[in-house]
Structure 1
Amino acid sequence: MRRFRNTLTTAVLTALLVGSTAGGASAGGEDAPGGPLPGIAAWLADGSLGRKLPDPATATPSDVAAFFAGLTVTQRWRLVRDHPGVVGNLDGVPVHLRYAANAPAGDQVLAYDPRGRGLIARVAGDLENAAHVAVIVPGSDIDVSTADRTARWAADLQEAAGDDTAVIAWVGYTTPAGIGPDLATGRLAEAGAERLARFTDGLDAAGLPAPSLFCHSYGSVVCGLAAPGTDARDIVAVGSPGMRADEVTALGTDAHVWAAKSPDDWIGHVPHVEILGLGHGADPTSPGFGATVLNADDVPAHDAYFTPGTATLTAFAAIAAGAL
């Protein structure tokens, strides 16, 4: 991320040069995985249980949870065995079954989509028994190949928050890659917001506590757009270029909204404007926005907010554990 110093400003200029992106993807823009996951056709054709399996395209996470609750243990594990790619990515499926379905992708993997640059959600801590849940939503240039950084942040946050808190490193949307118009527009954030809202609905359907969302850089744009559709307890904008809202009340959420920005973060040089769909609006740390601003004076760089020993990680851990 350090190589992206002032990249949003550059992206705005790039977008103006290549033309408006408001009507769709620009040339060279990233594309979110489209169409059904591999294995969906076989899943929908499976009549072994004597009833239709829930269609991932139309079933809500609550529908999915109710369906799995009505199965025997043997039937649930049969679906894991026969359709791991579907079960492992289906919001509303019990956590232990998703772990089992995604076991080839790693330990405690809650979702895994190998298409394109790849999407993955990995858990630090005991999610099934957690009293508190946090979700880290990363920014640009994060995918399966670079997800270890977000997983490390999740591990550090979970350790600081304590054993009764689980933290999910949610690389669950297609992030902007490199310098380009995607950084300056909300196109990928809109798609990511839909996925994030459904993911948090799935946590709720699985009986887990309402999460705290920690939204880094472009991830805070995702969280801003997802805010009305999620039951998040807290939303924390970290090194944010804006949340596509002028103030907290415009986010349409009952969550407590927090914000942190280091004086040494290059994001401070990004213009907080939104013009014709370019830019992401007000600075969440500005007085007029209305968020609770956290001390970030000891954070040395844009990617260092989750570093052990910083004031921000200490505050994040208190928020995640429900102590703030």
Structure 2
Amino acid sequence: MRRYKRTLVAAALATTVVGGTAGWASGSAQQAVTGPPPGSAAWRADGSLGRALPDPGSASPYEVASFFRTLTPGQRADLTRRHPSVVGNLDGVPVALRYEANALTIRAAHDPRFGRLAAPGRRILAFDPRGRGQVAEVYGDLAAARHVAVVVPGSDIDAGSFDRAKDPYGTPAGMAASLRTATGDRTAVVAWAGYTTPVGVGLDAATGDLAEAGARRLARFTQGLAAAGAAEPALFCHSYGSVVCGLAAHEVNATDIVVLGSPGMRADDVADLRTEARVWAAKDPSDWISKVPNVEFAGLGHGPDPAAAEFGARRVPAATAEGHTGYFVPGTDSLRAFAAIAQGSAAQARTTGEGR
């Protein structure tokens, strides 16, 4: 009977989403940016070293890292100058080279949408101007940090909204900066807007197509961190970003997967994620995501609520967070717990909200 009722609810959801959004969602439907970075054809054709360069479309991050270890400083500098868009986005390339390459690409773009990303001191780990633009930025010393965290955002995030002043704790840049500060600047945090996100609350947000493309990119990105010598990260996945993390869970290189304001992870429970990472979930009482039915039917919806006890995730206290984008606000119990998780203090994270 319970399964029958759930199926009826799912069918109602499908009818509501299709009937209520299909008319306008088609206008905002997004095409996922996938595949190797811009400039890959010229990179493949480059014979300056007398040997083939690793293919951006097929070489693993570990193969890329191994290749760069064979190069002299001069050869590395030359490839960065000749092919900045590839060097800056190729997982496995040394971190410092990626910063340098992306600064070159951003300055050469002469695009007012992206100019601020070239400001002195910014550490841009990835930059792809295709589509709405994708970007990843590092807060802290990624190469030397004992602990690393990666923020995976949800809908309406791209290179233009990556670090907007409005609603700062709803942006990956704001989340990452707040988390780093909460750890006493002891954790390096990556704000990763490295996939094509949905725009608005339409069919893209209700389906998993963009999340599937994002999951592949996220898995490769975390493998690239490992290949470059960075510490194994904790992932903090907000809203639709938690769908990405759920689909990537069995492949990502991560110590922890933390979902917040999640519509579901496209998994029935923690075991269904097939991951050895610790899985955490946070949802504050005022988050509108609670009004989204936690079902999946005919490709619509993202499944059970990860914050529900039966899902099996470790619960993150979030009583003092407010709304859908308030989890990283300074002073909240959720941010204190996130900081503990980012620093590897799982026991402290589970008790940080007690007595409040």
Fold similarity call, TM over 0.5: yes
Give yes or no for contact 1:11–1:179 (8 Å, CA) kept in 2: no
How many residue pairs get aligned? The number is 311
Correspondence for 1:49? 49
Give the 3 Å change call, closer, same or farther, for CA 77–12 of structure 1 in structure 2. Answer: farther
Query: What letter is aligned with 2:214?
Result: G
For residues 215 and 224 of structure 1, what CA distance do their matches in structure 2 show?
A: 9
For residues 286 and 35 of structure 1, what CA distance do their matches in structure 2 show?
A: 36
Give the 3 Å change call, closer, same or farther, for CA 61–36 of structure 1 in structure 2. Answer: closer
Query: What letter is aligned with 2:158?
Result: D
Give the 3 Å change call, closer, same or farther, for CA 290–36 of structure 1 in structure 2. Answer: closer
Equivalent position SS for 1:120: strand
Q: How does 1:141-180 map to 2 (within 5 A)?
A: 141-148=156-163, 149-180=171-202
Correspondence for 1:288? 310
* 1:173-221 deviation digits (Å, cap 9, x = unpaired): 0000023101110010000000000000000100111110000000000
Equivalent position SS for 2:225: helix
Query: What letter is aligned with 1:118?
Result: G
Give the 3 Å change call, closer, same or farther, for CA 284–34 of structure 1 in structure 2. Answer: closer
Q: How does 1:85-104 map to 2 (within 5 A)?
A: 85-103=85-103, 104=106
Equivalent position SS for 1:278: coil
Shift of 1:28: 4.5
Give yes or no for contact 1:135–1:212 (8 Å, CA) kept in 2: yes
Correspondence for 2:325? 303
- Greater relative contact order (Cα < 8 A, sep 6+): 1
Q: How does 1:90-239 map to 2 (within 5 A)?
A: 90-103=90-103, 104=106, 105-106=117-118, 107-148=122-163, 149-239=171-261
For residues 52 and 255 of structure 2, what CA distance do their matches in structure 1 show?
A: 35
Report which stretch shifted further, 187-196 or 157-166.
157-166
Equivalent position SS for 1:144: coil
Shift of 1:163: 3.2
Give yes or no for contact 1:44–1:55 (8 Å, CA) kept in 2: yes
Q: TM-score with structure 1 length normalisation?
A: 0.92
* 1:52-80 deviation digits (Å, cap 9, x = unpaired): 11110010000100000111111011111
Q: How does 1:3-14 map to 2 (within 5 A)?
A: 13-14=16-17
Equivalent position SS for 1:203: helix
Shift of 1:128: 1.2
Report which stretch shifted further, 84-93 or 95-104.
95-104
How large is the Cα RMSD of the aligned pairs?
1.8
Give yes or no for contact 2:14–2:298 (8 Å, CA) kept in 1: no
Question: Which protein shows a greater Rg?
Answer: 2
For residues 82 and 231 of structure 1, what CA distance do their matches in structure 2 show?
A: 31
**Which structure 1 segments of 5+ residues have no match?**
1-8, 20-24
For residues 231 and 244 of structure 1, what CA distance do their matches in structure 2 show?
A: 19
For residues 42 and 15 of structure 2, what CA distance do their matches in structure 1 show?
A: 44
**Which structure 2 segments of 5+ residues have no match?**
1-11, 107-116, 164-170, 347-356
Give yes or no for contact 1:194–1:226 (8 Å, CA) kept in 2: yes
Report which stretch shifted further, 243-252 or 34-43.
34-43
Equivalent position SS for 1:229: coil
* 1:80-135 deviation digits (Å, cap 9, x = unpaired): 11100000000000000000001134310000000110000011111111101100
Give the 3 Å change call, closer, same or farther, for CA 251–307 of structure 1 in structure 2. Answer: same
Which of 275, 285, 293 is residue 271 of structure 1 equivalent to?
A: 293
Equivalent position SS for 1:129: coil
For residues 10 and 79 of structure 1, what CA distance do their matches in structure 2 show?
A: 51
